Amino acid sequence: MSMVWVLVADASRARVFAAENRVAGELEEVTDHLHPESRLHNRDLVSDRPGRAADRSTEARSSVEEEGAPKDHEAANFARELAGMLAEAAGKGRFEHLVLCAPPTFMGELRDKLDASVRQRVSLEVTKDLTRSHRGADVRTHLPDYLY
């Protein structure tokens, strides 16, 4: 029998469910990961105001902005953390097929972080935020009958 993992994630929470075959009716929760830093506001993630820069050709001054918002940086960190966890589990043979469920912006971030060994196991991507689904049965209703 092939083990299927279903990763349900957004930028601050990820849950992994498992099914023993592609037509599984039941999804059992394997693990739950939280990333509280992604829930913070940008103002809470930076230490102070942006720096100031002076233009020597004029007397004007402007603020110096960092590239990318701190929340985006935290989402990328969480995606990297999840990709590492999936690579480790794939290396140990814990799943043969993977279904990814995430909102579009986080799906792209996660997809970019997956290594080749995990990417080749992805059988389905569902671009929906299902992290608020309380049970595996709720998640299962958003998936097709055959998981791979």
Residue-wise pLDDT tens digits, 36-69 = 765 654 454 455 555 555 556 666 555 544 556 7
pLDDT at position 7:
98
Q: Spell 63-82 as b/e; 16+ CB within 10 A means b.
A: eeeeeeebbebbbbbbbeeb
Residue-wise pLDDT tens digits, 103-131 = 999 999 999 999 999 999 999 999 999 99
Residue ranges of the domains in the chain? 4-39+69-140
Distance, CA of 128 to CA of 106 (rounded, Å):
10
What's the CATH fold of domain 4-39+69-140? Nucleotidyltransferase; domain 5 (3.30.420)
Contacts of 95 (CB under 8 A, 6+ apart): 3, 4, 5, 18, 89, 121
